[in-house]
């Protein structure tokens, strides 16, 4: 199933986004399609390619959502909307291919015919048609590099009831490095990060030195899951609040959400972005992030990757998104469960 997600997940997301033009909804549709396939793979009878089968399911889900919105008649304008002083994406695409007259003909077609043409070009890897519909905004990170070595571990492990949690590790982490802790579930990744951050104390074995500056941005999985937007805003100064709202807009949160007096209407993904925006505020010497990409859509993950590659912060992290980790990590360590 993991292979199917890696192979088709991003494709299904782009197809869904083409229809609904909503990042969060496209992500939810993609997850729903893959989950349903995982639950009942026997429904796929092999009469067509699996990619075609999953695409049809995704398109049906998109139409279900469009019917709920009662906006079927607006789909045409969503796909081919022209912005002021800027040609539409489709217009630019056709110009590049020297088919100006074709665009006029396509626009005159009924939706069900136009849809076939769009999907044809998309399936034939004309991905620019989709990718350019909405360019992710550039995120800014205010980075101040630490001056001292952050981590020094020599034959180090954490003990539980006197038993090593993972095989002893030896590693150094210096300023300007992006260090990621990897390992299977239960190997002690989060436990080690909590120890590094001083969140919890544990019995240990081996030598270690930890030096984290005070201005460390901490993003912890459990905290992010329980985020309260209003609580975050109330803690900020006026200047910080302006920067925070600007960051939320860059992450794709609608301005209408800023005046919410409750977080009850926020989706899991939106709540995660609210906490991420807070983690990006201010000048930070170290970014210690635990599962930051969980519940984030592909656009935001790409935004993060681009920002980290540009500003090169010092990081200590854990994340199950291999694409994200491989794109930014400069150093990794694999925790191996100690045999009991």
Q: Do residues 16 and 61 lie in contact, with contact meaning Cβ atoms separated by under 8 Å?
A: yes
pTM of the model: 0.62
- pLDDT attached to residue 121: 55
Contacts of 127 (CB under 8 A, 6+ apart): 14
Domains of the chain, start order: 2-131 (no CATH), 216-333 (3.40.50.300)
Pairing state between β 151-160 and 169-173? antiparallel
Contacts of 183 (CB under 8 A, 6+ apart): 166, 189, 334, 335, 336, 337
Cβ-based neighbours of 63, under 8 Å, separated by 6 or more: 19
30: number of CA atoms within 13 Å, CB side? 28
SS3 283: strand
pLDDT at 284: 95
Tokens encoding 334: 């694999």
Give the pairing of strands 203-210 and 151-160.
Answer: antiparallel
For 48-82, letters b (16+ CB in 10 Å) and e give eeeeebbbebbbebbeebbeeeeeeeebeeebbee
* 100/91 Cα distance (integer angstroms): 8
CA-angle at 256, arms to 300 and 76, nearest 5° = 70
Q: Give the whole-angstrom CA distance, residue 1 versus residue 13.
A: 17
> From first to last of its 340 residues, what are the pLDDT tens digits of the chain?
777 888 888 888 888 887 777 788 888 898 888 888 888 877 776 656 788 888 888 888 887 777 666 444 444 455 445 444 555 554 554 454 444 455 556 556 665 565 566 555 554 444 444 444 445 578 989 999 999 999 999 999 999 999 999 999 999 999 999 999 999 988 999 999 999 999 999 999 999 999 999 999 999 876 555 567 777 888 888 889 899 999 998 888 887 777 776 667 777 788 888 889 999 998 999 999 999 998 887 778 889 999 999 999 999 999 998 889 999 999 999 999 987 6
């Amino acid at each position: 199933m993991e292979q199917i997600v890696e192979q088709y997940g991003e494709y299904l997301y782009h197809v869904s986004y083409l229809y609904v033009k909503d990042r969060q909804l496209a992500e939810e549709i993609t997850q729903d399609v893959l989950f349903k396939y995982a639950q009942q793979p026997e429904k796929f009878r092999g009469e067509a390619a699996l990619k075609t089968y999953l695409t049809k399911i995704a398109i049906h889900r998109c139409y279900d959502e469009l019917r709920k919105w009662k906006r079927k008649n607006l789909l045409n304008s969503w796909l081919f909307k022209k912005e002021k002083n800027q040609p539409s994406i489709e217009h630019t695409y056709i110009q590049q291919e020297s088919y100006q007259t074709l665009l006029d003909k396509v626009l005159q077609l009924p939706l069900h015919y136009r849809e076939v043409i769009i999907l044809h070009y998309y399936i034939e890897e004309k991905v620019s048609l989709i990718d350019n519909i909405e360019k992710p905004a550039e995120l800014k990170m205010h980075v101040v590099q630490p001056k001292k070595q952050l981590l020094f571990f020599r034959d180090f492990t954490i003990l539980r009831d006197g038993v090593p949690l993972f095989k002893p590790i030896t590693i150094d982490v210096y300023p300007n490095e992006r260090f990621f802790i990897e390992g299977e579930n239960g190997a002690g990744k989060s436990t080690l990060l909590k120890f590094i951050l001083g969140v919890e104390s544990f019995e240990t074995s081996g030598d270690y030195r930890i030096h984290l500056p005070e201005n460390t941005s901490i993003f912890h999985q459990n905290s992010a899951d329980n985020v309260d937007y209003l609580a975050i805003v109330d803690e900020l100064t006026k200047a910080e609040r302006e920067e925070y709202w600007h960051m939320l807009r860059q992450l794709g949160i609608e301005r209408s959400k800023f005046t919410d007096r409750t977080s009850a209407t926020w989706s899991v993904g939106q709540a995660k972005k609210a906490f991420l925006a807070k983690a990006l505020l201010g000048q930070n010497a170290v970014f210690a992030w635990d599962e930051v990409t969980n519940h984030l859509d592909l656009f935001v993950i790409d935004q993060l990757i681009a920002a980290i590659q540009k500003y090169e912060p010092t990081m200590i992290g854990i994340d199950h998104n291999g694409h994200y980790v491989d794109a930014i990590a400069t150093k990794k360590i694999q925790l191996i469960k100690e045999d009991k």
